[in-house]
Structure 1
Amino acid sequence: MAFAILAQQPAWALALAAVGLIVATRAAVLLALWFYAAFLRPGKPLRARYGAWAVVTGATDGIGRAIALELAAAGLGVVLVGRNPDKLAKVAAEVRARRPGAETRTFVIDFAADGLAENVAALAESVRDLDVGVLVNNAGLCYPYARYFHEVDEKLARDLIALNVEQVTRLTHALMPGMVRRKRGAVVNIGSGAATILPSDPLYTVYAATKAYVDQFSRSLYVEYKNMGIDVQCQAPMYVATKMASIRNATLLAPSPETYARASVRYIGYEPRCTPHWAHGVVWYLFSIVPEPLVDRYLLGMSLFIREKGRAKDARKKAL
């Protein structure tokens, strides 16, 4: 009976129904795969797969500190890299307190200071005797608050490029030969939803452009080194409740660094581009289905609001 009814339908209707079925099936499969990756997929055995040590930059606060703690909990020794020796010592003590017997090392470096090439070379030399299996390029810089491109001063522009582009490139280049030699390793570059999820990031233009570099840098390295046993990944979070984001209290859409780090470490070694926190993935989907002009208008309005608040705060400081 059903076949008889179908046979009576015009060809265009059958073709349209077939296309609809294909689209619906594809959407269902993608949803199932996303759900599995976000909630059910186990993390990889990092120490066995990649090596005994992880190097984490920007490890004194926020996402970097939380990821270092998670990697230590996964059984890796951690090299904590940052510019504040007291904070590095505090995080190292926290790692050992949470995981007695965990191995830690610290290295003090200011990626925005002069002599970046020499400083990165010194860092690479300091870990030459270690089986570094995981590199997390987390150190980065954003605007103090939203501003037009012509309002970005020379120092801020230079520091953004130095931290978000040059140090990621140089440190990866310095540690990659060891991974190639050992035929295993994972490089995790912390990008931003500003470059990967959003169609634009007005009034944060230079920041977003540097993170777009991180995204393409990571994607190309993934293709280059996948057959050598090395996984390269760009993680693109949206807001996380950190000092850099100026968010004090965690929410569903702005998780705590610890919540983000748990998802982040579980994603290492899988997709070359990902948004580990599930709520950020939902935001990614929503932005993808809204017309870009509407998203652009919303983002510009939000950035202008942040700019006015920042300028008012600066004015109050000057008045004191």
Structure 2
Amino acid sequence: MEVCACLQYLRTQPVWLFALTAIGFLSLAKLGFASLRWTYVSFLRPGKDLKRRYGSWAVVTGSTDGIGKAFAFQFARVGLNLVLVGRNPEKLRETAAALREKYGKTQVETVVIDFTGDLNGGLARLKEKVERLDVGVLVNSAGASYPYARYFHEVDEELQRNLIKVNVEGVTKVIQAILPGMIKRKRGAIVNIGSGAAIVIPSDPLYAVYAATKAYVDQLSKCLYVEYQKSGIDVQCQVPLYVATKMASIRKSSFWVPSADTYARVALRWIGHDVRCTPYWPHSLLWCLISLLPECAVDRWRLNFCLKIRKKGMLKDAARKKE
């Protein structure tokens, strides 16, 4: 009798109530699945054996500072040989010497490329260097940003040109130089370092050209991922937020702002898994929080934050001119 009464009660309820209930259950299930997946990929999922899966050599651009240099040391730690790409010959020699000293069995080659200068000459040297090497991993870490925040009309022609040459043309042409060998060997991993400025926050006022170039990196990565997945090549855009590097003008690391070494160690485990990722888990928490806020509120906060950076930068410029 109780079952019949319950069924009779349900028949009297409006359809929209059932629809809302179903949506609620599905939303909870989706949230639960997303939480479980986040926990797994952030803390439990093992990284791939890069040497066995992709090849014995890694090419790293921007390898003498910041994230690129940290990646180079992490690759050497797991047994990969290295082709270091940078614009400063002396820094390249110093980094290569430090790697050989710490990891004696690691082979290290260097290629000088000034991404703001003679790009074609440097790319020719890179192609010649990697022609006979089993290059399995490419990390495009070389990047350029603003000295400090500024309005779009304040971005001079040289800065604008350098941003596009390094972040767009440089990334594109280095991939074109390395990709044919990966296609021939039917394996490889390409990691392009993007930015939260282009993906995580709705807009990045006062860094417009930088953010736009990093949006290009993200879209390029997604397209290449689809194009070459069946060829055994994994393409990925890593999207860090702030990392304590010279380019970010942050000296001290913290829980929310990792050192380049901390970031690279975590990032290694993500290579070959997702087309877009934020390897450092506190960054992914911030991304989740930002996504819950109204875009207009985030835009307002970001503009005020960048205006403060602009003010400090202008004061430093004025002080230098007086000197």
Normalising TM by the smaller chain, what interval?
Answer: over 0.9
Q: 1:18 to 1:76 in 2, by over 3 A?
A: same
Offset, 1:118: 2.6
What per-residue deviation string (whole Å, max 9, x for no partner) do you get for residues 95-144 of structure 1? 2232221111111221111x312321221111111000101000000000
Q: Match for residue 65 of structure 1?
A: 69
Structure 1 counterpart SS, 2:251:
coil
Equivalent position of 2:301 in the other structure: 298
State the AA in 2 paired with 1:31: S
Q: Distance in 2 between matches of 1:276 and 1:135?
A: 17
C-alpha separation between the residues in 2 aligned to 1:64 and 1:120?
18
Take 1:182 and 1:75, find their aligned partners in 2: how far apart are those partners?
20
Instruction: Choose which of 72, 96, 101 in structure 2 pairs with 1:97.
Output: 101
Structure 2 unaligned regions, length at least 5: none
Residue 180 in 1 paired to residue 192 in 2?
no
Partner of 1:269: 272
Instruction: Report the residue type matching 2:52 in the other structure.
Output: A
CA distance in 1 between partners of 2:93 and 2:121 (Å)? 23
Q: In the superposition, relative to structure 1, how do residues 7 and 75 fare at CA in structure 2: closer, same or farther (>3 Å)?
A: farther
**Distance of aligned partners of 1:18 and 1:265 in 2 relative to their CA distance in 1, 3 Å threshold:** same
Deviations 1:195-235 (A, max 9, x none): 11111000000000000000000000000000000000001
**1:81 and 2:73 aligned:** no
Work out which of the residue numbers 248, 272, 275 in structure 1 matches 2:251: 248
Q: Secondary structure at the match of 1:267?
A: coil
Post-superposition offset of 1:263: 1.4
1:209 alignment partner, SS class: helix
Distance 1:314 1:21, change over 3 A: same
| Deviation for aligned residue 1:2 | 8.1
Larger mean Cα displacement after TM superposition, 176-185 or 95-104: 95-104
1:227 counterpart residue number: 230
| Number of the residue aligned with 2:21 | 17
Report sequence identity in percent: 56
One-letter identity of the residue aligned with 1:181: K
Q: 1:133-172 to 2 correspondence within 5 Å?
A: 133-172=136-175
Residue ranges of structure 1 left out of the alignment (5+ in a row): none
One-letter identity of the residue aligned with 1:97:
E
**After the TM superposition, which of the residue ranges 120-129 and 231-240 deviates more from structure 2?**
120-129
How far residue 5 of structure 1 moved from its aligned partner, in angstroms, is 4.5
Distance in 1 between the 2:111 and 2:84 partners? 6
Quote the offset at 1:192 in angstroms.
Answer: 0.5
Distance apart, 1:25 and its partner CA: 0.5
In 2, the alpha carbon distance for the partners of 1:78 and 1:299 equals 38
| Stretch deviating more after TM superposition (226-235 or 5-14) | 5-14
Secondary structure at the aligned position of 1:42 is classed as coil
How far apart are residue 56 of structure 1 and its match? 0.2
CA distance in 1, matches of 2:6, 2:154: 67
Amino acid aligned to 2:253: A
Query: 2: distance between equivalents of 1:121 and 1:63?
Result: 25
Quick one: which amino acid aligns to residue 104 of structure 1? V
Paired residue secondary structure (1:162)? helix
Query: Cα distance 1:128–1:25, how it changes in 2: closer, same or farther (>3 A)?
Result: same
Mean alpha-carbon deviation: is it higher for 300-309 or for 94-103?
94-103
Give the Cα separation in 2 of the matches to 1:26 and 1:101. Answer: 47
Using the TM superposition, name which of 47-56 and 103-112 deviates more.
103-112
> Partners of 1:193 and 1:279 in 2: how far apart?
13
What secondary structure does 2:269 align onto?
A: helix
Matched, 1:211 2:210: no
Question: Rg larger in 1 or in 2?
Answer: 2
Amino acid at match of 2:129: S
Alpha-carbon distance between aligned partners in 2 of 1:2 and 1:143, rounded to the nearest angstrom: 69
Partner of 2:53: 49
Give distance in 2, aligned partners of 1:105 and 1:7: 78
Deviates further, 190-199 or 217-226: 190-199
1:18-46 per-residue CA deviation (whole Å, 9 max, x = no partner) reads 11010011011011111111111111010
**Residue number in structure 2 paired with 1:281:** 284
Q: Distance in 1 between matches of 2:95 and 2:28?
A: 48
For the Cα contact (< 8 Å) 2:111–2:125, is it kept in 1? no
Using the size of structure 1 for normalisation, the TM-score is 0.97
Contact 2:57–2:134 (Cα < 8 Å) also in 1? yes
Equivalent pair of 2:243/2:259 in contact (CA under 8 Å) = yes
**Partner Cα separation in structure 2 for residue 53 and residue 117 of structure 1:** 23
Aligned equivalents of 1:275, 1:7: Cα separation in 2:
51
